[in-house]
Structure formats: C-alpha cells, structure tokens
Amino acid sequence: MFEISRRSALKIAAFAAATSSMRPALAGSAILASWVDGNAKARIMDFVTATTTEGSADFVEPAARVAVFDNDGTLWGEQPTYVQLAFALDRVKQLAPQHPEWQTTEPFKSVLAGDMAGVAASGERGLLELVAATHAGMSAAEFEKIVSDWIASARHPASGRPYTGHIFQPMVELIDYLKANQFEVFIVSGGGVEFMRPWTERVYGIPPQNVVGSSIKTKYELRDGVPAIMRLPEIDFIDDGPGKPVGINKFIGKHPIAAFGNSDGDFEMLEWTTSGHGRRFGLIVHHDDAQRENAYDRDSHFGRLARGLDEAPARGWTLVSIKDDWKVVYPE
C-alpha cells in the first residue's frame, strides 16, 4: 500500500482445527470446496501431495514447508482502492480539523475534496506523506486500537459490507489446506505490518508473528513513566516488489517453497521462491470476473498485472482465473 507501483491428501478433521471462528466451518466439506475441479486445483493438490508424501522424490520436511501469501488482491479485494489507503483517507478526514493547512496542501487537499485522481497524481511521495501524517505520532498500542476500531466499523463503498467480508473464500481454504499439511503460512504484503497484525489471525488464521509488511520507524521511550513504542513519521521498510524477498529473508529466515500473489508487485517474491532447489510452486490470482468481483490487470493503478501475466506460463506458475476457477468468491 505504501507505494502506488505495487499492483501486492487432507484429513477432514484437520480442517476444523485450522479454521478460525470468523470463517465458515469447513469440517465435513471437500478439499478446496470453493475451487472448480480443474487444472488450477489439480496443480495445487499435486504439489501438496508430492511435497508431503514420505518416499516421494519431492518430499519436503515439515520444517521447510514455508508458504508466503500477498494480501491485497490475493487474500482480499483491493478495488476500488487498497484497504489501508481507505483507512488513511478516513484518518485524514478525521484529523483535518487539527490541520487547517491541509485545505491548501496536496495530497491532503485532494483527499478532503474527494478527488482520487488528485491523490493518485501525487504519486509515491504523496502516499508516503499520507502515511506519515496518519500512521505516526502515537504509540504502537494506540495505533493497534485505532486500526481494530476502524476495521470493525468501516464498510466497502460498493457492497456496504465490512472489508473483512471481502476476503476470498477459496484462498482461505487454500491456507487451511496448507496448514493442515504442516505448512507454515506467512503473509508477505506491501501493506503496513502493524495495520494487518490486529486482525489477520481472526480473519485468516495467520498469527501476528507470521505477518511481514511495510513499516515506519519506531522508537522506545517513557511516556509519563510508562514504556511505549512510539511510531515516527518516517518510512523504515517497503515490502513490495524486490523488497518482498528481502523481507522474507530478513524476517522469516527461510526460503519458501510456495508463493501466492496477484500483481507485478509480487513478481520477485514468486521468482525467488520458484528459483530454489526441489519442487516449488508459484500461483497468481488473475482478476477477470467483473460480475462477482472486479476485472482488471494491465491498466490498473491498484494491483497492476502485466509482466506476471505474460511470463507465468513459461515460468511454470499457475494462473488462477477467478471467473473460471472459483465457484464462489466471498464467504457466504
């Protein structure tokens, strides 16, 4: 979210243990029930079977079964804008009375006027200014509460549903399938790490410590004698594009054997993952369903997919059509 270029055999009983309370229960249902029985589903299951079956030439020890997922556009919707950008825009409006100068200063002026074209025109610099102004100047604990309150109350502008109602049911089933087969699953997103951590376990079953994302600088200080981690108005790390393999190496410390994304911001993550020795798996979600979700790729400001779309077949990556490969998109 921090930069516009980023475009980021199962046992039935195991499903119940892997499924969080918020998601529809999967116990008793078929493996990857929301997936059409086609090539994409078959390739996923073949990879998991091959890497988890002892005696197989492709067997991978459980400790090395690491899978990484992008978030925006891969695990939940990213149109008409990244969810964290929507959060930042709401924060600008909330804080505007304290900053009269924003009425004449870009990109804040465009935000307050509802001019999304103006916000986009501000580019990476403008987005970073929005993040610095709306995500800093408070403790980490205070920011967590702000995010938690917002994610519980904010609604998608088109559907009126909570943003967490726009998670992709097939991908949640895929996470559960991998976890039940002793994969350790991580989110590796261009979004802010502290924006995602308050809710990813409840929504996806992925705990905070398994979330890697972009971050701003922080410092330790005493506030009225109480220790606090304070958030500073400076970018520390951008977890997008080539930053994703760097973030994986730095924060996870293992080379994944499977990577899942949807945009060219995920290209290097898939490239690095599938370049390793042994059986590897790369998957790209292609947003081609205008009726049930959104149709976009090459020309989108959010989730642009061009290089990945062109190179996926030659690289052996699985290209998933939302229109053709998913029976349902969102949870019922």
Domain 12-79+162-325 architecture: 3-Layer(aba) Sandwich (3.40)
Phi-psi region of 32 (alpha: psi -120 to 50; beta: other; left: phi over 0): left
Judge whether 185 and 210 are in contact, CB under 8 Å: yes
Residues 78-131: tens digit of each pLDDT: 999 899 999 999 999 999 999 999 999 999 999 999 998 888 788 767 887 898
- Asked if residue 45 has pLDDT above 80, the reply is yes
Amino acid found at 213: G
Higher-confidence position of 10 and 119: 119
If 0-12 CB within 10 Å is exposed, 13-18 middle and 19+ buried, where does residue 75 land? buried
Tell me what the mean pLDDT of segment 171-188 comes to. Answer: 98
Ranges of each domain in the chain: 12-79+162-325, 83-153
Which is it for strands 226-237 and 258-261: parallel, antiparallel or unpaired?
Answer: unpaired
Do residues 152 and 23 touch, judged by C-beta distance below 8 A? no
Check residue 275 and give its pLDDT.
96
Tell me if 67 sits within 8 A of 257, measured CB to CB: yes
Flag whether pLDDT at 40 surpasses 50.
yes
pTM beyond 0.85: yes
Ranges of beta strands (E only) in the chain are 66-69, 184-192, 211-223, 226-237, 258-261, 281-286, 318-321
Q: What average pLDDT does the structure give for the chain?
A: 90
* Cβ contacts of 102 within 8 Å, gap of 6 or more: 92, 96, 108, 109, 111, 112
SS3 state at 149: helix
Q: Is the pLDDT of residue 323 over 80?
A: yes
